[in-house]
Amino acid sequence: MRSFEDDSDYKSIKWICWVVCIGMALVEAWSQRQFINEDGISYLDMSDVFLRHNWHLLINPIWSPLYPALIGAVTWLIRPSGGWEVPVVHLLNFIIFLGTLASFEFLMRQVIGVLRPENGQEDVASPRPLPVWTWQLLGYSLFAWSTFGMLWAPRMVTPDLCVAMFVYLDAGLLLSLRDPANATRASLWLGLTLGLGYLTKAILFPLAFVFAAVAFVVIGNWKRAIPCTALTLLVFAAISAPLVIAMSNRVGRPTYSEAGTLNYAWHVNDVGGGKVACCAFYPSASGPPPYLRHPLTLLYKNPDIFAFNGPLPSTYSPRQDMEYWAAGTKVVFNVHNQLQATRENILLLFTDSHVAPMSGLIVASFVVLVMNSNASQRIKMSLRGWPLLVPAIAAIGLYLLVWVEPRYVAPFFVLVSLGLLPGLLLQDSKDAHERPAVWTTVVAIGLILFSALVVAYHVAGFPRGEPRSGMFVQVGESLNTAGVYAGEEVAIIGDSSDGCRWARMARVHIVAQILREDVKEFWSISDPGRKKDIYDAFARTGAKAVIAEDPPPFSDLDEWEQLADTRYYVHFFNGSSLEHPADLNASPQQVTESRRP
């Protein structure tokens, strides 16, 4: 055990930081217990594998399996009712947060023990390291901002918090490889965490080879490095190969994921010409793109009605089965498009309010390193953190080529910041002893306060554009009470982003839709014959009813039934509101599989 770990100041700062971070996570998890983002519906659909024993649901070329498997395991153990499904997921997110916090502590111990310069200096004029508590305080403030300000955890139902946990473990294991006595064991654990990381999110598959290459160099002695790196890659392959093989069989060609391919087509090639909704290509006036193997069906024109019934049961197939609906899409490298996409992504790093503070802090750190009177020594010290910088910069670079969101790059920005600490957290001998520590404390407290403000922002009900907590549960339960039961099919008029959320709460499947941009045209129709044709088109898809997310005009109110006191209304097709023996309060494990293939 290193001496700094037994120091009372080290222990005190650690527990203070843990209490603050855990407190914010508890507030965030509880206040947002009914919040579910659109991606979360896809993971909930996959999580049904434990309840239905349809293991093939976990093989999806877009959505990685580990996070929904964890959701499914917890749901299977707790068996929540429909209204408690989302709170149980937030409970799981909080548990994952605790694991991420422990992983970060492991990383911080490695950073301080391996990267922090020795206190003893032969040259009294050379920079000296700041006390350990300053490293801890700044490190945990970076963790807090990346977690609450960039990941929006544990609020968001996504695997990004799991990604952060494995990235911190990977980085800490890289640093631990500098100890020859620990190389074999650390290599084994590194292979395990890299494999589990890939099962969490596809971006960690190519990054696994970056981590392995860095590990080879960190070990130093090639006679030890070759077997240790081979062990890492062997364990990684043993974990990742089954998913790669199964996914390749489903797609029909070798692949580890289709997420990068489709995102490149949408965000760089601009495939679809902007006519893309919920990641499915909707046919235009000239028809569907000729390269699509499974285009959506256009049932009716003006307003456009699209029908979709994917290969597997899901709440909203165009999002759950993105690879299926976009099959046939090709990516083409274009220098102009690539430069434009990269430029826009770089600009986002400095304009998005959630990632800009971290970007600004990193830029300021570089300025301090370069402009300082001891710049050469400080830069040399920062180069000690290259095992953290290389994989982090590689990950950020991959995202910059395609698409950047703050939650994607959050843990990698933390690694860049930690990699710079050896050159930053130093005091020149001519400086007052307190000055660098004071500035470090100011920056750390500022980041923690910003993190607390983000939590308060969510507690206060912002962003205002989001529905109030629990509304989707209310809509789902009201829909079941009105006569649309679990496992049945419906159509929607309006936004699928909200639609897939209440549909999951009701355990129904959306099979047809009028897009939001055509809603006004639909409500403006006064001809009863045209309205009947539209309802008949919906009914031909097998839908029992159509749900609108906004109140119908006064002239149509007699045909629609309001769902509780929400803005949603339901219209049953002729003969479709007969009684059904299904349980109105069906829990997730009781969902039927009556959907057509």
Instruction: Give 121 or 463, the one with higher predicted confidence.
Output: 463
Phi and psi, residue 404, nearest 5°: -120, 130
pLDDT class of 581 with cuts at 50, 70, 90: very low
pLDDT class of 287 with cuts at 50, 70, 90: low
Q: Which pLDDT does position 585 carry in this prediction?
A: 38
Residue 574 has pLDDT above 90, yes or no: no
Per the domain annotation, does 476 fall within a domain? yes
Q: Which pLDDT does position 582 carry in this prediction?
A: 37
Per-residue pLDDT tens digits for 380-411: 999 999 999 999 999 999 999 999 999 999 99
Per the domain annotation, does 154 fall within a domain? no
Per the domain annotation, does 525 fall within a domain? yes
Lowest mean pLDDT among 97-106, 244-253, 376-385, 431-440: 431-440
Residue 7 has pLDDT above 80, yes or no: no
Say how many domains are in the chain: 1
Per the domain annotation, does 302 fall within a domain? yes
Q: How far is CA 309 from the centre of its chain?
A: 26
Q: Which pLDDT does position 592 carry in this prediction?
A: 34
Q: Which pLDDT does position 349 carry in this prediction?
A: 97
- In the chain, pLDDT over 90 holds for what percent of residues? 70
Phi and psi, residue 566, nearest 5°: -90, 180
Q: Which pLDDT does position 117 carry in this prediction?
A: 82
Q: Average pLDDT of the chain?
A: 88
Per-residue pLDDT tens digits for 472-488: 999 999 999 999 999 99
pLDDT class of 469 with cuts at 50, 70, 90: low
Query: Which domain, by its residues, includes 532?
Result: 278-330+467-597
Residue 120 has pLDDT above 60, yes or no: no
The C-alpha atoms of residue 34 and residue 86 are separated, in whole angstroms, by 6
Per-residue pLDDT tens digits for 63-94: 999 999 999 999 999 999 878 999 999 999 99
Lowest mean pLDDT among 24-28, 365-369, 543-547: 365-369
Q: Which pLDDT does position 532 carry in this prediction?
A: 93
Residue 173 has pLDDT above 60, yes or no: yes
β-bridge mates for residue 561, sequence order: 570
Per the domain annotation, does 478 fall within a domain? yes
Per-residue pLDDT tens digits for 354-363: 999 999 999 9
β-bridge mates for residue 281, sequence order: 276
Indicate the burial class of 452 (C-beta count within 10 angstroms; 0-12, 13-18, 19 or more): middle
What DSSP element (H or E) covers 307?
Answer: strand 305-307
Q: Which pLDDT does position 436 carry in this prediction?
A: 77
Per the domain annotation, does 310 fall within a domain? yes
The C-alpha atoms of residue 487 and residue 496 are separated, in whole angstroms, by 18
Residue 460 has pLDDT above 50, yes or no: yes
* Over residues 568-578, mean pLDDT: 76
Q: Which pLDDT does position 274 carry in this prediction?
A: 40
Per the domain annotation, does 211 fall within a domain? no
Phi and psi, residue 275, nearest 5°: -90, 60
The answer to whether 556 and 523 are in contact (CB under 8 A) is yes
Lowest mean pLDDT among 199-203, 275-279, 494-498, 549-553: 275-279
Per the domain annotation, does 435 fall within a domain? no
* Over residues 249-253, mean pLDDT: 93
In 3D space, the residue among 176, 181, 217, 180 whose CA is nearest the CA of residue 193 turns out to be 176
Q: Which pLDDT does position 377 carry in this prediction?
A: 87
Per-residue pLDDT tens digits for 300-354: 999 999 998 888 889 999 999 999 998 888 889 999 999 999 999 999 999 999 9
- pTM: predicted TM-score of the whole model, two decimal places: 0.92
CB atoms within 10 A of CB 46: 25
Beta-strand runs (E) in 449-548: 489-493, 509-514, 545-548
Q: Which pLDDT does position 312 carry in this prediction?
A: 82
